[in-house]
Structure formats: C-alpha cells, structure tokens
Amino acid sequence: MKRRTGRAKRVTKETGVEVVVDLDGEGTASVDTGIAFFDHMLLLFAYHGCFDLKVSARGDLKVDFHHTVEDAGICLGQALAQAWGDKKGIRRYGASMLPMDEALALVSVDLGGRGWLVYNSRGRKIKIGDFNVGLVPQFLKAVCDHACATIHVNVLYGQDPHHILEAVFKGLGRAFSQAVEKQPRRKGAPSTK
C-alpha cells in the first residue's frame, strides 16, 4: 500500500518553515520551531493522531511568535492536504471528546473541501510561559484554510490553560486520524456531490 505523505515549505522575510507528514505513520515526531510550548503541542498532535511529523521552523521570534505559528499552520495544512490527496476511500469526518485532568475538549473535523474554523474557548489572553494562548486559533485557522478542512473546537470546561490546550491538540490528532482512516466499503470520494 502506498504511504500517504505530504511536504510543504514556506520561506518569507519573517520565517522559514518546512513540514513533512506521513498519515500512515506511528506517531513519531521531530518538531523544532524555537517555541518550546508549541513544539510540545505539535508532538502531542502527531502522537495521538499516529502521524509521523517533521516540523522545522525559524522565525522572527524576537518580534513575536505570530508569524512562526501561523506559517507552521499554513505548511501543516498544505502537507496534510497533499497527503490525503483525492480523499477516495477515507471516512472524511472525525471527532474526539478528550479529557485532560480537569479539562474536556470536543474536537470535530470535516475534510469536505471547505476551510472553516469554529473555536470556543475562554482565556485567549492567557500566556503559558512566553506562549500566547490566543495564537492557537490563528494556527488552526491557517490549517483550515490550507487543508480546506473544517475544524470545530469546543472546550467544554477546564481551569489549567496547559491542560486545556493538551486536550485540544490531542483531540485534534485523534479527530484527524479518524477522518483520514480508510473505509473499506467506500470506493470513491466521501461525498454525494
């Protein structure tokens, strides 16, 4: 069986990002964005999605983390879309309700070809270390736009921002894994159109 892989690269005056993803991997990841907390979240995404993931990013971190995080999202979205290709034979939809200690997040994805993000979580102005939690919806919006995927994130409850984001990223990996899973009975694209 041919492995489903994708690669994307983006170089601007502000960043240099390269992402490689293997949807049929084992959850092995090598992530280096220069942003320790963001690296941690991407490692969780890969591990819980059982995707092999390589992310290398250099950006103007002295200015802000925004450009690096957003460009990583652009590249991840492009690499994912390349990896699942024409989507023939996949489930298309995936969802995960994932607890992380006191936090609970519901993450749903649709690989139907339209980029859309719904992100419901409070506390976007909080920082975890030097990472601004408000960058997470920016990252996810970039993934949605460039993967042509719909993502809904609903944080049902939680107190610790770290636990909340762990639930989100682990749930995102599991939802994507379910959506790209092969469905043996489906021969064509997962759409009635």
pLDDT surpasses 70 at 192: no
Place of tokens 């023939």: 88
pLDDT surpasses 90 at 19: yes
- Distance, in Å, from the CA atom of 146 to the CA atom of 140, rounded to the nearest integer, reads 10
User: In sequence order, what are the residues at sequence separation of 6 or more whose Cβ sits closer than 8 angstroms to the Cβ of residue 85?
Assistant: 4
**Rounded mean pLDDT of 166-188?**
91
DSSP secondary-structure letter at 130? Answer: T
pLDDT digits 0-9 by tens, 54-102: 999 999 999 999 999 999 999 999 999 999 999 999 999 999 999 999 9
Question: What's the pLDDT at 183?
Answer: 82
**Phi-psi sector, 101: left (phi>0), alpha (psi -120 to 50), beta:** left
Among 69, 74, 39, 66, which residue's Cα sits nearest to residue 54?
39
**Rounded mean pLDDT of 121-138?**
90
Place of tokens 């999202």: 73
* CATH class of the region 5-180: alpha beta
